[in-house]
Structure 1
């Protein structure tokens, strides 16, 4: 059974097999597919099959884990936390030298985030890897729910559309990409800036806003910024 230092002692299980199912992606991105138009575009005639997959992913007997290694040696763990009444998806960052993983974002009814800006999302997705989740498109979609960025570049839709085209059977991927970027996460899109080498935001629910009482400490914020942006420590 998998273990993540400092994380809940649950039935963690490698989830990479789900990544080959085209329906996994709209299910995973569901929190950003709000409204009938978005859901119709993402699921189409596959709605019932997608809901069946969602039930499997949220089963208490097994908590799927998807791991995204970074060039710095850190790993982002995406965990389906399947506790009855407290289900959600946790986005954790860990390094072998840390005693416990840190939480970047939480996608549930008591959401926390954002965890990544758009440039960081692209950087984390495109960092080379030879183990675990190593496909750039899969990494982009897997980490997308952590996004919260008020200043998206003009080509954001292009990158997201390309990933959806590669991994899903969605008929109009550009339309779905637009819906995703319009909603992003459950939080309001944040403004990001760099201060003393640390990328921070102004999100009221973000661990990366140093003005929040629950923010991560400064040294962690610096290490996280470097890891996500592909900078040397």
Structure 2
């Protein structure tokens, strides 16, 4: 696989992994925060178990094969999530794709913590709800939202935000009785991260 603007690693399409038990706990558990005691995030929050999570991790974090998850948008910028499996330098890179541009733009990364510039809630939802059926990648809006959720960098998430994330989690296989609490944990952690500089502009603004 080739992504113009991103020349590192043996990239492979990863979208088929989304339906595997264990994927979402791998992708989102760290976004819930570390927690303490009974509040420590566990795979069961996402409808997974430890064995499934470990099995998917062996594929997801394989240095010989870096999974790529594409979120193309019919209107406005889309995103690409790359599991950068360099030995000794593991991380997740977040790229944006822009209409009319041939190269992707890396805007953020995750290496034990989030760095870079993220998206507002409005931008995140717009991207999730604007699939491009003519392009290769993820079309399901719930999966698109959850894939890009770690990019959220917004203190002004609307009151409907937790319900939207909870519904996406349930659609992805999370238990209905615990999904609302998991959604709140995710958003609380994301909104509690160090904020960007006051002069920051969204990467979707063209800056």
Q: Show CA shifts across 1:47-89 (max 9, x none).
A: 2321332232011010000111112464411100000111111
Query: Structure 2 unaligned runs (5+)?
Result: none
Among residues 197, 200, 204, which one is paired with 1:209 in the alignment? Answer: 200
Residues 49 and 83 of structure 1: CA distance in aligned 2, closer, same or farther (over 3 Å): same
| Residue 85 of structure 1: aligned partner | 88
Residues 64 and 71 of structure 1: CA distance in aligned 2, closer, same or farther (over 3 Å): same
The answer to whether 1:8 aligns with 2:7 is yes
- Report the CA distance between 1:22 and its aligned residue: 3.8
Q: Secondary structure at the match of 1:184?
A: helix
CA contact 1:14–1:65 (8 Å) conserved in 2: yes
CA contact 1:125–1:136 (8 Å) conserved in 2: yes
CA contact 2:46–2:174 (8 Å) conserved in 1: no
Q: How many residues align?
A: 200
CA contact 1:117–1:148 (8 Å) conserved in 2: yes
CA contact 1:113–1:146 (8 Å) conserved in 2: no
TM-score (normalizing by structure 1): 0.75
Among residues 181, 195, 198, which one is paired with 2:187 in the alignment? Answer: 181
Residues 6 and 45 of structure 1: CA distance in aligned 2, closer, same or farther (over 3 Å): closer
Among residues 55, 60, 69, which one is paired with 2:58 in the alignment? Answer: 55
Residues 186 and 107 of structure 1: CA distance in aligned 2, closer, same or farther (over 3 Å): farther
| Residue 222 of structure 1: aligned partner | 205
| Residue 155 of structure 2: aligned partner | 150
CA contact 2:21–2:52 (8 Å) conserved in 1: no
- Report the CA distance between 1:141 and its aligned residue: 0.3
| Residue 39 of structure 1: aligned partner | 41
CA contact 1:145–1:185 (8 Å) conserved in 2: no
| Residue 107 of structure 2: aligned partner | 104
The answer to whether 1:127 aligns with 2:130 is yes
Distance in 2, Cα, partners of 1:51 & 1:85: 19
